[in-house]
Structure 1
Amino acid sequence: MRRTSVAAVLVALMAGAVLGAPPALAEAGGHEVRLRVATYNVHAGAGQDGRFDLARQVEAIRALDADVIALQEVDVHWDPRSEWRDLAAELAGALDMRVFFGPIYDLDPPADGRPRRQYGNAILSRYPITHAENHSIARLSTQTPDPVPAPAPGFPEVVVNVKGARVQVYGTHLDYRADPQVRRLQVADTLKILRERGGRDAQVLLGDLNALPGAPELAPLWSRLTDVMSGSPGLTYPADAPDRRIDYVAVSRSVRVRDARVPRTLASDHLPVVADLTVRRGR
């Protein structure tokens, strides 16, 4: 009887290998792995009420339980509104995550011996970051008089190793002005970078695009990427009474979207977007 039982177990295990192992085993040894990503405009640490409260944002971000998070409007020793603090480093430290910060602006310090004043976008990751780069795209500066659109940094990319799967993650914040011309240039620059960096790696674009899903200037993006909230209102702004969607998670065609949602929180003036994805390991 003991020999029969052992044989039966072996047959069952072999059948499981052929017919499909349980999800945990499939992920451990299979070609697909799960990844939760999020985007969140943190409003320089201020909530919907305008009050700076980084601890409140830490709890809101922790509740997302995301593996990779792109943050916009991140101050690093910028000015009194964020108490001259390094929000990128503090958020990453509190959440026990790796961080790459891509400044849009990098200005002289207010006094000798003080850190440089920086403002931009950050990407946090639970997984190892194997490559990081701060790309330039067209921008219309808010820090210089009479600006004209010109290439400027602040489009960070990280490549993360997700249990053997390489994933390119980009964090972005497009121009906020009503005139879409700068956003149109930014979308063109974004697509150029995505194509140049493309290959077998999955690509994930996270950020505040400052435009509605059907905006003409965003249309070229959807020729390469899939908007994970497509077909759903997914309203993200303003946080207390959202009436529009301007925050996005978008993925390349090889990425499977299992779920996407907009959690409610007043820790910023935007709501975050969270997506559960499946990505494939390379051969």
Structure 2
Amino acid sequence: MTVTCMVLIGPSAPGDVFLSRSLPAEAAEDIVPNRVMTWNICNPCGAGNAGRAAEIARYAPQVVGLQEACVRDVEKIRDYLKGLHGLDYHVEYGTVLRNRGRCGGWPWRPGAFGQAILSAAPMTDRVNVEYPDGGSEDRGYLAVTTAVGGRPTRVFNTHLAQRRQEAVRAEQTGVLAKAVARHDRAIVLGDFNAVPHTPELTGMWSLAADADPHCRPSPTGTGPTGSGVTGTGVCETTTDWHAKFDYVFLRDFVPLKHGVRPSPYSDHHLLHTDLAPAPTPRTSRRASPTAVRPPAGAPRSG
């Protein structure tokens, strides 16, 4: 009944626009296993959650990491994904800030702001960590365990301190890298607010590779290689100001293909990648992500 009413009368929140069930011809028709996405959805930007949901539905990843996410916005995005696009996700929140200016709400109950992870498979062992020093705004990471590639995988989602706070980001990356290093199989999603060659990302590069196989920090730590500048042929930019700030770091996975899509709903682009478990003597490097629905009777979103 709720979905029916939403379709008939549309969303009530300001800034939301009603979108039909139809998507562009190239849109995925169902959740794509082993596809992951990271997206800073930009807040406050006044973007409609129906539009945000349509952008995610275009690629229908199995796992989505959102940054600058208000709980109320994510709830609406999740409802639109299910009600308008037939995509059913579980959700976990990693809120680090309660701020009415960011997320609205009443003065005595401001909205919660931070990270969120949406997953087609159930998630367990949620951990939400606020960095000791967030810089100019509280920041942290969210971690969960879910199945990717048929195996339990630790998934992290983070948002580091804003630009021109290099020393703060270096401390934050140290905290994050220490947690990631405990897991042989991990995916780290997020907005790191730093281009690849910056010293504060050294700890991550020592643990994991980016989903873009051509994106690496330069050997000298400077110069165009890995800078994220358009035209280098190395790192594809992920922001409207032509820098690579967004990453999908992988441990015990190999990327099959990846894509970056600018969006009118954010100053960050959607970054998505299809993955396969890292090859072993008994597994093949090649894999083909095929859209499938969860089997009948599978647990519903919680």
Fold similarity call, TM over 0.5: yes
Q: CA RMSD in A?
A: 2.6
Tell me the distance in 2 between the aligned counterparts of 1:227 and 1:280. 14
**8 A Cα contact 1:88 1:101, kept in partner:** no
Is the Cα–Cα contact under 8 Å of residues 211 and 254 in structure 2 kept in the other structure?
no
Which of structures 1 and 2 has the bigger CA Rg? 1
Deviation of the 1:136 alpha carbon: 3.0
1:133 matched to 2:127? The reply is: yes
What percent identity do the matched residue pairs reach? 27
Aligned residue pairs: how many? 221
The answer for the alignment partner of 1:235 in structure 2 is: 237
The answer as to 2:157 corresponding to 1:171 is yes
Matches within 5 A, 1:70-149: 70-76=65-71, 86-95=72-81, 96-106=88-98, 110-111=106-107, 115-140=109-134, 142=136
The answer as to 2:61 corresponding to 1:66 is yes
SS state at 2:131 partner: strand
Structure 2 counterpart of 1:247: 246
The correspondence for 2:49, drawn from 45, 54, 57, is 54
Q: Which amino acid aligns with 1:165?
A: R
**Superposition deviation, residue 223 in structure 1:** 0.7
Q: Which amino acid aligns with 2:116?
A: A
Bigger RCO (CA 8 Å, 6+ sep): 1
Q: Does 1:277 align with 2:275?
A: yes
For 1:4, the equivalent position in structure 2 comes to none
Measure how far apart 1:153 and its partner are.
6.5
* Alpha-carbon distance, 1:57 to partner: 0.8
The residue number in structure 1 matching 2:264 is 266
User: What's the TM-score once normalised by structure 2's chain length?
Assistant: 0.67
Q: Is the 8 A contact 1:174 1:186 kept in 2?
A: yes
CA distance in 2, matches of 1:57, 1:172: 19
Distance 1:225 1:56, change over 3 A: same
- TM-superposed CA distance for 1:211, in Å, is 0.4
Shift of residue 163, structure 1, vs aligned partner: 6.6
**Is the Cα–Cα contact under 8 Å of residues 158 and 169 in structure 1 kept in the other structure?**
yes
Rounded Cα–Cα distance in structure 1 between residues aligned with 2:195 and 2:178: 22
The equivalent of 1:183 in structure 2 is 169
Query: In the TM superposition, what is the alpha-carbon distance from 1:133 to its structure 2 partner?
Result: 1.4
Unpaired runs of 5+ in structure 2? Answer: 1-31, 82-87, 215-233, 283-302
Superposition deviation, residue 154 in structure 1: 3.2
